[in-house]
Structure 1
Amino acid sequence: MARMPSADRRRQLTEAAIRAMTRDGVARTTTRSIAAEAGVSLSVFHYCFESKQALLESVIEAITAHYVTVVKQAIRPRPTLRETVRAGFQAYWDHVAAQPGEHMLTYELTQYALRQPGFEHLARRQYELYCDTYEELIGQLRADMDLELRVPVPVLARYLAAMTDGLTLSVLVLGDETATKEILDVITDHVAGLVGPRPPDGT
């Protein structure tokens, strides 16, 4: 087996875990099956992750990073604020459409963590990460377009996290793509109304 830096090996095992859990479910995925998916020995797995909690936290962070990367690229400044915000939502939604199993896995991870004694903190960490992610994206948008918010950043971030979480689950269940686009248009208008250009004097 070729030697690999530990950080790269952790990423390899995390992505293997995402594939295995998406296919087989969280409860039925074992450390042995993840090692097999990654093509490494079980000892390598245990060297990289000291516990199942550590693995699941890495999985949650990796799935979030997958779509954050495309959203960050999408919210580059466009002619209008509305176009910029809408492009960010569309990039997220395109990721949901391309990777529905991965997004379905996030809900399974939440339920699994809440039902397993000692794992509850992972569910909290998962939703804190969603809010932190939106705070980061809002910060990028404010800096790039010199914007001022009409609500506190943490409030807007939590609203966006709750909104996209609920909408994603709804579409995974109902599968109505046309309705989703209309809802995203409404949400875009609402968010754009909560953000405006910074006054000339910066106050």
Structure 2
Amino acid sequence: MRKLRTKSDVTRAQIIQGALQALEKTGVIGTTTRSIAAEANVQLATLHYHFESKSTLLVAVLEALIDEIAERLREDRAGTEPDLDDRIELLIHGTWRSIMRSRARQIVQYELTLYALREGAQWLADQQYEAYLRLYRDQLTSKSEKSELSTAGYTSLARFILAGIDGLILQELVKPSRTRSNQVIEALIFGAKQYSQQLRQEALMVIR
């Protein structure tokens, strides 16, 4: 989690947490700024001081959810510099562990995406997708001077993994089966490794 330095930071985090709790209980449509303020135990005026609209607060909720996953992924890699295959495994396993900790939060994220698309807030859906794509790409990219793939290659690999994770989340939400999902996760890891090899070979061909 981000270090909270001021009283304002603490209040802002409190509101975001209250928003997440309200969204988990009543969904995006049923959640109002008033209900969020009540859940966060702050005055409505205080909420509006920190967030000018419900949309800006929803963006902050999305950022907090992504930060939570990012922190856990960084902890998995702490003090190591794994190769690309290992980074793929760490990313997919770590992401899936974080996702499975809260079914309600995954429903909220899907609701946020659909809400954004229905309400004409394409930017919110775009921001959510791009944030996850950026997170995955950063986790896949080597921190050493020698990178296995180009930036475009890492982006393509991140998009492939994100598509697989998104599909698996929806399947798990509709018809839960940890055994089946774990098998699919292993298949996704295998497929991502194969795709990364293809991307590396294509990069070598371009160089030649």
TM range (shorter): 0.7 to 0.9
Partner of 1:51: 53
Partner of 1:107: 110
Q: Specify the code of the residue in structure 2 equivalent to 1:59.
A: V
Q: Which runs of 5+ in 1 are unaligned?
A: none
Partner of 1:189: 190
Q: Percent of aligned pairs with the same residue?
A: 32
**TM-score with structure 1 length normalisation?**
0.84
Q: Specify the code of the residue in structure 2 equivalent to 1:22.
A: E
Question: Structure 1 residues 87 and 145, CA, compared in 2 at 3 Å: closer, same or farther?
Answer: farther
1:75 deviation in Å?
3.6
Partner of 1:41: 43
1:72 deviation in Å?
2.1
1:191 deviation in Å?
2.3
1:69 deviation in Å?
1.4
Contact 1:72–1:88 (Cα < 8 Å) also in 2? no
**TM-score with structure 2 length normalisation?**
0.82
User: C-alpha root-mean-square deviation of aligned residues, in Å?
Assistant: 2.4
Question: Structure 1 residues 173 and 160, CA, compared in 2 at 3 Å: closer, same or farther?
Answer: same
Partner of 1:121: 123
| 1:9 aligns to 2:18 (yes or no) | no
1:9 deviation in Å?
1.7
CA distance in 2, matches of 1:30, 1:55: 11
Q: Specify the code of the residue in structure 2 equivalent to 1:159.
A: F
Provide the secondary structure at the position in 1 that maps to 2:30.
Answer: coil
Q: Specify the code of the residue in structure 2 equivalent to 1:39.
A: N
Q: Which runs of 5+ in 2 are unaligned?
A: 1-5
Question: Structure 1 residues 125 and 101, CA, compared in 2 at 3 Å: closer, same or farther?
Answer: same
**Equivalent pairs, count:** 192
1:37 deviation in Å?
0.8
CA distance in 2, matches of 1:14, 1:185: 34
Q: Specify the code of the residue in structure 2 equivalent to 1:68.
A: A
Contact 1:82–1:189 (Cα < 8 Å) also in 2? no
